[in-house]
Amino acid sequence: MIRKTRVPMREQDPAARIHNFQEVPFGYTPEEAIQEAKRCLQCKNAPCIGGCPVEIDIPRFIAHIAAGDFRAAIRTIKEANTLPAICGRVCPQETQCEGVCTLGKKFEPVAIGRLERFVADWERKRGMELPPVGEPTGFRVAVVGSGPAGLACAVELRRFGHAVTVFEALHEPGGVLMYGIPEFRLPKDIVRREIATLQEMGVELVTNAVVGKAFTVDGLLADGYHAVFVGTGAGLPRFLGIPGESLIGVYSANEFLTRVNLMRAYLFPEYDTPVRVGKRVAVVGGGNVAMDAARTALRLGAEEVLVLYRRTEAEMPARREEIRHAKEEGVKFHFLVNPVRFLGEGGELTAVECLRMELGVPDESGRRRPVPIEGSEFVMPVETAVIAIGNQPHPLVPRTTPGLSVTRWGTIQADEDGATGRPGVFAGGDIVTGAATVISAMGAGKKAAQAIDRYLREKAAG
């Protein structure tokens, strides 16, 4: 008899966790993991594999867990994905592997993400096994950006035996995993551990290296790199473009989260970077970044955190789990409102003026377009606002690399293997797709690495 519901994962109590930055879920115990793994039907067509952007052999790794062979389980995952501790935490499994799980048609789907996370954590405690590295090929590849796309690409290239150097603009590698996703959702020690694994595999990491400034793609090719992968992500913050947006107290989500995550402003003054949060905080947006910003603001001591979203809960792009976490923690949601103006005194934010919206006809994304209700303006007093309405592709590499075709959204044009208009230059992740998920960027990085490998071997064959 199969359990209808998934084995619950224990979590920090909301009342306690809003006062700390420690991770919210505790993860499964071995017993819980085995119990959950036994719910898997082991169906032959395995739709979950197709639902995974990096095509992990999900039924096989779950079968190993059910048999108590956690080492075999992690090996299975790592054949396809070298960063499972990260993916197990931040993938939107509900729309990927778990979304197509056969069991999910009648009951709750198998908790694939929790199981992935469990074996990754188990391995980290027992000692990590290095994925095998290929025989040296004599080829050198430069990877630009050390976010999910760049890391996945670098690992795959090492497996083929190519020498890999990753260039990172910031002082610490990891990209959005370090600066964007908060500690309580993805502990930074885990990211550092995964990156250390890459280095143990022989990936060379160069920090403080801005490609598009001191380095250029053409300069790297001239310096003896045989191919370049561009995974510079969508790091440019979007603002609302409304009056008062430069008042003190208005942050982009990137600034707010970078201060707290990468720079550890939550430990100020032990760490030097400050962050200021008022009693009442408005977060504008409905995605995962908005949820991260809202929950971070609570942990920094805000008394009231409001999420302002111009559509309704049903249209929110944030993961359901993140919305649930935010609600449990006391974040208040105001739907169908859109800020039109920030108000301030002496240069500091004091309030936000909003318009009420209603949903009209669907737009090109298929979601009903929010339409302002005339005369519905109202003012909410707030001391801090965080703009989390999305990021744009970073323009530095496209701007400094002649011959790359760039779309009107600023993304680099690349085929599904990451090949751009320039031979030897590949791209993947948010710089190609616009802001998307960690795992889709990893999938793109991995695919590009395979294409780079083919390109190099063809080149060698003459």
Partner 1 sequence: MYTIVKKRGLADQITEYVVQAPVVAGAAQAGQFAVIRLHERGERIPLTLADWDAQAGTITLVVQAVGKTTVELEERFHEGDALADVVGPLGEPSEIEEYGTVVCVAGGVGIAPIHPVARALKGAGNEVICIAGARNRGLLFWLDRLSDVCDDLIITTDDGSHGRKGLVTEPLKELVEGGGVARVWAIGPAIMMKFCSLVCQAAGVPIVVSLNPIMVDGTGMCGACRVEVDGVVRFACVDGPEFRGDRVNWDLLIARLAAFKEEERCALEQFRAALKEARE
Q: Is 462 in the site for partner 1 (CB under 8 A)?
A: no
DSSP string spanning 21-73?
-S-SB----HHHHHHHHTT----SS-HHHHHSTT---HHHHHHHHHTT-HHHH
Minimum CB distance to partner 1 smaller for 100 or for 210 = 210
Q: Is 248 in the site for partner 1 (CB under 8 A)?
A: yes
The answer to whether the CB of 283 falls within 8 A of the CB of 386 is: yes
Q: Is 394 in the site for partner 1 (CB under 8 A)?
A: yes
Binding partner 1 (rule: CB under 8 A), the pick from 57, 218, 245, 415 is 245
Compute the distance between CA of residue 29 and CA of residue 21 in angstroms, rounded to an integer: 22
Q: Is 273 in the site for partner 1 (CB under 8 A)?
A: yes
Binding partner 1 (rule: CB under 8 A), the pick from 258, 350, 401, 411 is 258
- Nearest to 163, CA basis, from 218, 220, 232, 81: 220
Residues contacting partner 1: total by CB under 8 A: 40
Minimum CB distance to partner 1 smaller for 239 or for 378 = 239
Q: What are the angstrom distances between the C-alpha of 228 and each of 140, 234, 339, 458?
A: 9, 18, 42, 16
- The identity of residue 75, as a single letter, is R
- The identity of residue 230, as a single letter, is V
The one-character DSSP state at 419 is B
Q: Is 395 in the site for partner 1 (CB under 8 A)?
A: yes
DSSP string spanning 370-418?
EEEPTT--EEEE-SEEEE-S-EE---HHHHHSTT--B-TTSPBP--TT-
The answer to whether the CB of 292 falls within 8 A of the CB of 181 is: yes
Compute the distance between CA of residue 439 and CA of residue 54 in angstroms, rounded to an integer: 8
The answer to whether the CB of 141 falls within 8 A of the CB of 226 is: yes
Q: Is 59 in the site for partner 1 (CB under 8 A)?
A: no
Minimum CB distance to partner 1 smaller for 70 or for 251 = 251
Minimum CB distance to partner 1 smaller for 228 or for 253 = 253
Minimum CB distance to partner 1 smaller for 221 or for 396 = 396
Q: Residue 444 corresponds to which tokens in the numbers above?
A: 């793109």
Q: Is 255 in the site for partner 1 (CB under 8 A)?
A: yes
Q: Residue 127 corresponds to which tokens in the numbers above?
A: 């000692």
Binding partner 1 (rule: CB under 8 A), the pick from 76, 81, 165, 252 is 252
Stretch binding partner 1 (CB under 8 A), from 123-131, 232-240, 286-294, 447-455: 232-240
The answer to whether the CB of 434 falls within 8 A of the CB of 411 is: yes
Q: Is 42 in the site for partner 1 (CB under 8 A)?
A: no
- The identity of residue 32, as a single letter, is E
Q: Is 345 in the site for partner 1 (CB under 8 A)?
A: no
Stretch binding partner 1 (CB under 8 A), from 38-46, 76-84, 128-136, 234-242: 234-242
Compute the distance between CA of residue 403 and CA of residue 423 in angstroms, rounded to an integer: 10
Task: Work out how close the CB of 262 gets to partner 1 at its nearest, in angstroms, rounded to a whole number.
Answer: 8
Stretch binding partner 1 (CB under 8 A), from 62-70, 238-246, 308-316, 451-459: 238-246
In the shown chain, the binding pattern of residues 371 to 390 toward partner 1, with x for contact by CB under 8 A and - for none, equals --------------------
Binding partner 1 (rule: CB under 8 A), the pick from 3, 171, 324, 332 is 171
Task: Work out how close the CB of 379 gets to partner 1 at its nearest, in angstroms, rounded to a whole number.
Answer: 21
Q: Enumerate residues 396-415 that contact partner 1 by CB under 8 A.
A: 396
Binding partner 1 (rule: CB under 8 A), the pick from 199, 207, 405, 407 is 207
Binding partner 1 (rule: CB under 8 A), the pick from 62, 90, 169, 316 is 169
Q: Is 188 in the site for partner 1 (CB under 8 A)?
A: no
Compute the distance between CA of residue 225 and CA of residue 77 in angstroms, rounded to an integer: 31
Compute the distance between CA of residue 88 and CA of residue 431 in angstroms, rounded to an integer: 23
Minimum CB distance to partner 1 smaller for 82 or for 252 = 252
Minimum CB distance to partner 1 smaller for 245 or for 358 = 245
Q: Residue 410 corresponds to which tokens in the numbers above?
A: 């600023």
Q: Is the dihedral of CA 438, 444, 445, 447 positive or negative?
A: positive
Q: Is 268 in the site for partner 1 (CB under 8 A)?
A: yes
| Residue ranges that bind partner 1, judged by CB under 8 A | 169-171, 179, 207-210, 213-215, 235-237, 239, 241, 245-246, 248, 251-252, 254-255, 258-259, 263-264, 268-274, 276, 346-347, 394-396
